[in-house]
Amino acid sequence: MRYRRFGKLDWQASALGFGCMRFPTLDGDYAKIAEPEATRMLHLAIEHGVNYLDTAYPYHGGNGELFVGRALKNDYRKRVRLATKMPCWLVKTAADFDKYLNEQLGKLQTDHIDFYLLHALSGERWPQVRDLGVLEWAERAIADGRIGHIGFSFHDKYAVFQEIIDAYDGWTFCQIQYNYMDVKEQAGIRGLQYAAARGLAVVIMEPLLGGRLANPPEAVQEIWDAAPTRRAPADWGLRWLWNQAEVSVVLSGMSAMQHVTENIASAENARINSLTEPELALIDRVRTKYQEICPVPCTRCEYCLPCPNEVNIPRLFELLNHGVMYNELERARKQYQELPETTRADMCIQCLQCESLCPQGIPISEWLVRVDEILGQGQPYELRATG
């Protein structure tokens, strides 16, 4: 295992961190962890040098922290730094900060959380907890020893990310979604570099887009297969992250023992600036190919919103695009059915107001018909001209 300095701290984190949100489960029930196998996986990772574990209040239906607490008995807790997260969306009053932290300490069977995050901050959620005094509360929790360091995880636009960073000098670290397809999404590469320049450790989540980048479509796999050095797509994705000096820890949500052993092997080569220019160009070609496969050229600028009929246009296009790009149409169809009915594509009344606002010139009304045909009615995706 290779290690990296964790921001300003005098501590070295393992390049690979264990994300505790995708343990193997029983009977397809996310809330039921297959504990014997999950324990073996977690212990194997620790025994091979993984020293950063990341969990959260809602993982595995609220059972994730309970399991991690049980799995870290017999001195395993002493061998790792443990991260978990405040469920900010549940916080209604300032008293809730202590309520949830103390509950988490109990579930994790520990007297302190090494790295505590405000979970999934956004432009909406950040002001809510900030105005309740979460930063002052965190400093008190650090002073009394229940928290070692405070940070946050993030899902929103870069401008919001920078605002949060700039609002407090006491951040030790942050956690962002980042991979070779998300260089311009959410915090993106700008956020990575900005946070690192401010001295924060940067923990990476979704390094393989929830596993999507590990199982590419044929057109992308052909590019990987043409590389002089043969590596699994997942290995390429992880190495691209570890190649960057600003990356402190890459979390992997491992759901099978094979994932653990493969990722540990990848982490042995987690060196900064280890990829050659031809290898970086290869990854650029893969990104370009994914973008070519993408059906709708939507940038999610949201100029099309609000739709007068409440259709969630960017989200619908995102579902179709990801379903096609990552060979996950069935998953996209399930997610489509889970959307509120009033926001689905079949609610479009073809008023065309959105099309006059779209800077990409997308024939939105035509694509919404296709979205409902493919995701709502289960028709196969076929490449054909629009507009």
Tokens 């409440």, residue located: 310
Residues with Cβ within 8 Å of residue 218, at least 6 apart in sequence: none
- DSSP-derived letter for residue 314 is H
Tokens 């490449």, residue located: 383
CB 260 within 8 A of CB 254: yes
- Tally helices (H) and strands (E) across the chain: 15, 12
Write out the H or E segment, with its range, that includes residue 13: strand 12-14
> DSSP of 89-110, one letter per residue?
GG--STHHHHHHHHHHHHHTT-
Alpha-carbon gap, residue 61 to 83, rounded angstroms: 18
φ/ψ region of 60 (left if φ > 0, alpha if ψ in -120 to 50, else beta) reads left
Q: Which of 90, 82, 98 is nearest to 138 (CA)?
A: 98
Q: How far apart are the first and last CA of the chain?
A: 52
φ/ψ (deg, to 5) at 274: -95, -20
pLDDT computed for residue 340 by the predictor = 95
CB 290 within 8 A of CB 181: yes
**Tens digits of per-residue pLDDT, 75-116?**
999 999 999 999 999 999 999 999 999 999 999 999 999 999
Quick one: tokens of 156?
Answer: 């929103």
Write out the H or E segment, with its range, that includes residue 289: helix 277-293
- In the chain, domain spans: 3-283, 295-387
**Tens digits of per-residue pLDDT, 121-166?**
999 999 999 999 999 999 999 999 999 999 999 999 999 999 999 9
Give 169's pLDDT tier (boundaries 50, 70, 90): very high
**Tens digits of per-residue pLDDT, 34-51?**
999 999 999 999 999 999
CA distances from 161 to 168, 184, 205, 302 (A): 12, 13, 15, 18
Mean per-residue pLDDT, 353-376? 93
Which CATH architecture describes the domain 3-283? Alpha-Beta Barrel (3.20)
Give 385's pLDDT tier (boundaries 50, 70, 90): low
Beta bridge partners of 118: 86, 152
In the predicted structure, residue 228 carries a pLDDT above the cut 90:
yes
Quick one: tokens of 300?
Answer: 């999610």
CB 332 within 8 A of CB 301: no
CB-based contacts of 195-200 (< 8 A; 24+ apart in sequence): 195/161, 195/165, 195/246, 196/245, 196/246, 198/165, 198/171, 199/7, 199/8, 200/7, 200/8, 200/151, 200/165, 200/171, 200/172, 200/173, 200/174
**Tens digits of per-residue pLDDT, 292-301?**
999 998 887 8
